[in-house]
Amino acid sequence: MSIEVRNISKNFGAFRALNDINLDIHSGELVALLGPSGCGKTSLLRIIAGLETPDTGSIQFHGEDVSGHDVRDRNVGFVFQHYALFRHMTVFDNVAFGLRMKPKKQRPSEEEIAHKVHELLNMVQLDWLADRYPEQLSGGQRQRIALARALAVQPKILLLDEPFGALDAKVRKELRRWLARLHEEINLTSVFVTHDQEEAMEVADRIVVMNKGVIEQIGSPGEVYEQPASDFVYHFLGDSNRLHLGDDGHILFRPHEISLSRLTQAEHLAAQVRDIRPLGAITRVTLKVEGQDELIEAEVVNDHASLAGLIRGETLYFKPRPSFAANGH
């Protein structure tokens, strides 16, 4: 089921949370709403779900205007950052909740519900926790239960609000890979909100980069990274260096877009080594250039010739090789 967002604006008092947002999400897509906190991404997600009402504009599901539909009638699955599991219910009852709340005529029998719940718990690989209470589970387990609960009512759309935001780094990584795989299996139109560019890059089919209530760019992870539409997108989607060229001009480049050398070379600038950090496959070298306070970070492969025997305080020669020509003034 596709989602069409049309001219959505939303103000909270004097604060403009969303400013004339237009967005098309295709059927079966996994889309990330990416941006810093306060950019309006969560408001947009809540408006799609029906938890907030926009000031202007409309939301359509597969061409049907659902703006006037109550939350209950939109049939969306929603996963909260802090899980929002029912704390007084067991895992089983949590997952069964949506089925049990159905009007009597549509409600499945208790056996059918039990069958369905165990099926979902197996899918999230947590069937053995059925009789536990939420407070006895780890964060990662809670979020998987929350997902199973949201999927129990067979939603047409799945919305996730910072689903991994409250988890620690390792669990977050595992869970987002698992979510990407799950999405491939069930192929449900899904939108998730995140402020973590790595998460968006790794999981999403398309990324919607938002800032201050407007959409800066919509594109595949490759597009937004390699062809950023603005300086904001460039900075937000990864580490960046700024090298001043005098007369207020500067060039932007990523830490890996650099040539390093121990000897002077044509077009290379001298810089002092401030720090050397081996980070697995790559090593990060922090450089101080004469005439600018901002440090330059260079990332090169571990066995790069310039690194052999390198110590802090030595002089290196570097040349930026930016792939993106956003040379500002």
Partner 1 sequence: MSSITVSAAATRNAARRGNAWARRLLILSAWLAFALFLLLPLYMVLSEALKLGFGTFFTSILEPDALSALKLTLIAVGISVPLNLVFGVSAAWCVSKFEFRGKSLLVTLIDLPFSVSPVIAGLIYVLLFGAQGYFGKWLSEHDIQIVFAVPGIVLATLFVTVPFVARELIPLMQEQGTQEEEAARLLGANGWQMFWHVTLPNIKWGLIYGVVLCTARAMGEFGAVSVVSGHIRGYTNTLPLHVEILYNEYNHVAAFSVASLLLALALIILLLKQWSEARLSRLKSAGDEE
Residues that bind partner 1 in the complex, under the rule CB under 8 A:
49, 51, 71-72, 76-78, 80, 82, 84-90, 97-98, 101-102, 131-133, 136, 149-150, 152-153
Shortest Å distance, C-beta 149 to partner 1: 7
Shortest Å distance, C-beta 78 to partner 1: 5
Shortest Å distance, C-beta 97 to partner 1: 5
Q: d(Cα 136, Cα 89) in Å, to the nearest integer?
A: 12
Beta bridge partners of 78: 159
Shortest Å distance, C-beta 68 to partner 1: 16
Q: Quick one: three-class SS letters along the chain?
A: CCEEEEEEEEEECCEEEEEEEEEEECCCCEEEEECCCCCCHHHHHHHHHCCCCCCEEEEEECCEECCCCCHHHHCEEEECCCCCCCCCCCHHHHHHHHHHCCCCCCCCCHHHHHHHHHHHHHHCCCHHHCCCCHHHCCHHHHHHHHHHHHHHCCCCEEEEECCCCCCCHHHHHHHHHHHHHHHHHHCCEEEEEECCHHHHHHHCCEEEEEECCEEEEEECHHHHHHCCCCHHHHHHCCCCEEEEEECCEEEEECCCCEEEECCCCCCCEEEEEEEEEEECCEEEEEEEECCCCCCEEEEEECCCHHHCCCCCCCEEEEEECCCCCCCCC
Shortest Å distance, C-beta 79 to partner 1: 9
User: Which residue lies nearer to partner 1 by CB, 84 or 326?
Assistant: 84
User: Which residue lies nearer to partner 1 by CB, 97 or 178?
Assistant: 97
Query: 292 by DSSP, 3-state: which?
Result: coil
User: Which residue lies nearer to partner 1 by CB, 56 or 136?
Assistant: 136
User: Which residue lies nearer to partner 1 by CB, 26 or 82?
Assistant: 82
Shortest Å distance, C-beta 286 to partner 1: 35
The CA-to-CA distance between both ends of the chain, in Å, stands at 44
User: Which residue lies nearer to partner 1 by CB, 149 or 195?
Assistant: 149
Shortest Å distance, C-beta 51 to partner 1: 6
Shortest Å distance, C-beta 82 to partner 1: 7
User: Which residue lies nearer to partner 1 by CB, 190 or 283?
Assistant: 190
User: Which residue lies nearer to partner 1 by CB, 41 or 149?
Assistant: 149
User: Which residue lies nearer to partner 1 by CB, 152 or 167?
Assistant: 152
What strands lie across the sheet with 56-61, from one edge to the other?
15-25, 3-12, 56-61, 64-65
